[in-house]
Amino acid sequence: MLEALDTIKTTALSELKKTSDKETLRLWYSTHLSKNSPLIESLRNLSNVAPKDRPAIGKHANQIRNILEEAYKEQTHYLHKSTASTRQKHTDLDITLPGRSVNRGRLHIATQTLRRIYTIWADMGFQIYRSREIETDELNFELLNIPLHHPARDMWDTFHTNTPGVILRTHTSPGQIHAMRANAPDPIRVILPGMCYRYEQITARSEIQFNQVEGLAIGTNIRFTDLKGTLTDFARRMFGNSTRTRFRASHFPFTEPSAEMDVECFLCSGEGCRVCKKTGWLEILGCGMVHPAVLTNGGYEPNKYTGFAFGMGPERIAMLKYGIDDIRHFWGNDLRFLEQF
């Protein structure tokens, strides 16, 4: 019995140390010193104890009650007086230590560049249209005026799936057909961003997966001068007001005439440097007037409607803008690269 009383005392005193406010203190009191607590009950039931043991047990229980009452008063006094900070000193927590910084996420540089491109085109009245990444050969090639076995297919090395005629899109241009068919014969101005896939040798300039942003404008009386003016305006908004552009004749089966647009190298201002390979110019996109066969496939009457289209590579644009010398950094998941943007 004496041992049981000692256990009550040890437990109560240790729990008392952990009380931190009025509420925990009140709970402690009701557990250890209220009428129903084991200690007080043992005093009340002394008559059940053998008469010869009664004096010693009674005396011991009373002493413990006094100790607990005294400790309770002290703890009440301490909690009342001490401020939060003096109380913390009695725990392991050092609130004077500087806090641990939380890692902040950020947008990938490709996403940042894409969003900048979206904003510019949206400001110029173009809607964003999403098209699918898994395409049919028909949409990726045939309806874009690239028949089976046509040598132009060599420009787009293709990933094929197990399903015949189903491929990963090699460019965003099949989105032109989707957008035209969804809107013909109404005029349209859309951009079609998204991931493209090519079965290519990976090099510092070429990846097997990369983003493109396609653009398409269809209406009546749209001319090559509209294409030149619109794309030059884009380049100035993207790279700065004084950016100069030039158009070089090129070939794409789905546009006629076709061109590639260069911007004046903004690293050397046209003087010639390593990045522009001493030419003073940087290629940023392919473009042209939509081929009449493609207009027909999209549901537009080519005698009545004309349009222009373009396709640019946001990673290549970001490489030029930020002096990134290797496209493989984009998908390498190296935080030392990603944290720079």
Residues lying near ligand FA5 in the complex (CB under 6 A) are found at 155, 171, 173, 198, 200, 206-207, 210, 212, 214, 252, 255, 285-288, 309-313, 315-316, 327
Distance CA 334, CA 322 (A): 17
Contacts 24+ apart (CB under 8 A), 331-337: 331/207, 331/209
DSSP 181-226: HHHTTS-EEEEEEEEEE------SS--SEEEEEEEEEEESS--HHH
> Closer to ligand FA5 at the Cβ: 298 or 311?
311
Side-chain-side CA neighbours of 301 within 13 Å: the count stands at 5
The token pair that represents 90 in the structure block: 């009695």
Burial class (CB in 10 A: 0-12, 13-18, 19+), 323: exposed
Give the nearer residue to ligand FA5 in terms of CB position, either 234 or 310.
310
User: CB of residue 300 vs ligand FA5: minimum separation in angstroms?
Assistant: 16
Complex with ligand FA5: residue 88 or 112, whichever CB lies closer: 112
Shortest Cβ 109–ligand FA5 spacing (Å): 14
What minimum distance in Å lies between the beta carbon of 250 and ligand FA5?
8
> Nearest distance from residue 330's CB to ligand FA5, in Å?
9
Using CA atoms, how far apart are residues 338 and 341, in angstroms rounded to an integer? 6
Q: By C-alpha distance, which of 135, 143, 136, 131 is closest to 296? A: 143
Compute the least distance from the CB of residue 240 to ligand FA5, in Å: 19
Report the residue closest to ligand FA5, judged by CB.
313
Which of 46, 293 has the CB closer to ligand FA5? 293
Report, in this order, helix, strand and coil percent for the chain, each rounded to 5: 45, 20, 35
Cβ distance to ligand FA5 smaller for residue 271 or 326: 326
Task: State the minimum distance, in angstroms, from the CB of residue 91 to ligand FA5.
Answer: 57
Q: Are 228 and 111 in contact (CB under 8 A)?
A: no
Question: Which is nearer to ligand FA5, 65 or 307 (by Cβ)?
Answer: 307
